[in-house]
């Protein structure tokens, strides 16, 4: 008989399982705390649970823990991990250390269905969505790396790894619930950013659900013709649709919105491109992250020249936009933005 995934159960469901087995109801709360607050990886570690109960749990249930299959450390201290799931699929996550923060970049799907032409994950098939506990496990494992390697606690989480988070909506929100809950990791929602390629109706749903975390839109071009060429999702989620969705999201949540803009040489790095970005950005309260392009073998894009980036960001700043130029980290181990591909 196949073991059941115990982390699929809510506290109330776990309580019912305990009662059916003749255990006291309070035992569910104890087990739940071991699983989510203390992040144990086996039932034997549950020290205050009777041995007979642990043996029953071990026979009936599985924690299906995510394992570190391989770990690489960049010259800039970025750590990329290949994570093995219970069904042998591989995903990748990254610890990004900077002077101000320790950030975990986590995946939400095995592969991706969106086929963005500049992203290594976009050249993979989407195998399946990640379960909420598989996303949670990435955070726990990367948090442990931050403590063990650098002695610094994790400060931020970005859902910017493999996959489109808003196409795994329920599991992504459930994972954030366990990461932020006092019964889980207890991290602050404002320290979490979910990045989307732009699914307008799901951005509106985030607004309806009045989420507390931050939202980032991977924009990369501010006219439909160019964006269609590099991001086919734009054909059904136009810039006009995204503008309306972002405005709705902000009205409902007043949460920070970030526009992410990978800048490619001779494609989207001109002053006309900067003007188009300003025209889009001024319609919604936001900040703009200009991101270096990180080459991948499947595509011919090249990062913009330094003077073009300076002129581009200078134009936006002259329009009183909040602009950050993000330097890539972990490029030497294929851990930078757009390079994750779950390589074996």
Catalytic residues: 92, 337
Q: Which residue in 232, 310, 239, 252 sits closest to 281, CA to CA?
A: 239
Q: Which residue in 49, 40, 195 sits closest to 133, CA to CA?
A: 40
How far, in Å, CA of 38 to CA of 295, rounded? 39
Alpha helix stretches (DSSP H) within the chain: 11-20, 26-36, 51-60, 132-145, 169-180, 200-208, 224-230, 239-253, 271-281, 306-318
Which residue's entry shows tokens 């054909």? 235
Give the H/E segment covering residue 72. Answer: strand 67-73
How far, in Å, CA of 258 to CA of 255, rounded? 10
Which tokens is 241 given?
């649709």
How far, in Å, CA of 270 to CA of 275, rounded? 9
Range 304-318 burial, b when 16+ CB lie within 10 A, else e: beeebbeebbebbee
Which tokens is 210 given?
């009045």
How far, in Å, CA of 243 to CA of 145, rounded? 38
263 within 8 A of 253, measured Cβ to Cβ: no
């Amino acid at each position: 008989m196949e073991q059941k995934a115990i982390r699929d159960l809510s506290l109330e469901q776990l309580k019912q399982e305990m009662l059916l087995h003749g255990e006291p109801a309070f035992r569910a709360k104890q087990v739940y705390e071991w699983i989510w607050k203390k992040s144990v990886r086996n039932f034997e570690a549950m020290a205050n649970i009777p041995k007979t109960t642990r043996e029953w749990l071990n026979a009936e249930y599985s924690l299906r823990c995510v394992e570190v299959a391989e770990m690489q450390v960049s010259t800039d201290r970025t750590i990329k991990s290949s994570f093995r799931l219970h069904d042998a699929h591989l995903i990748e996550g990254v610890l990004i250390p900077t002077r101000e923060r320790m950030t975990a970049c986590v995946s939400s799907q095995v592969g991706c269905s969106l086929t963005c032409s500049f992203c290594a994950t976009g050249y993979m098939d989407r195998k399946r969505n990640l379960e909420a506990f598989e996303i949670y496990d990435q955070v726990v494992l990367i948090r442990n790396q931050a403590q063990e390697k650098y002695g610094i606690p994790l400060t931020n989480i970005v859902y910017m790894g493999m996959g489109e988070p808003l196409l795994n909506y329920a599991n992504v929100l459930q994972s954030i619930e366990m990461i932020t809950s006092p019964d889980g990791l207890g991290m602050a929602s404002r320290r979490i950013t979910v990045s989307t390629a732009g699914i307008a109706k799901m951005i509106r749903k985030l607004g309806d659900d009045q989420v507390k975390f931050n939202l980032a839109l991977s924009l990369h071009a501010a006219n439909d013709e160019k964006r269609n060429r590099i991001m086919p999702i734009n054909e059904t989620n136009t810039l006009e649709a995204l503008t309306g969705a972002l405005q709705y999201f902000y009205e409902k949540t007043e949460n920070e919105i970030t526009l992410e803009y990978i800048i490619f040489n001779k494609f989207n790095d001109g002053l006309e491109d900067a003007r188009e970005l300003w025209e889009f950005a001024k319609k919604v309260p936001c900040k703009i992250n200009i991101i270096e392009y990180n080459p991948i073998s499947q595509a011919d894009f090249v990062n913009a020249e330094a003077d073009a980036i300076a002129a581009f960001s200078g134009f936006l700043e002259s329009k009183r936009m909040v602009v950050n130029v993000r330097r890539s980290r972990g490029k030497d181990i294929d851990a930078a933005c757009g390079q994750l591909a779950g390589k074996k």
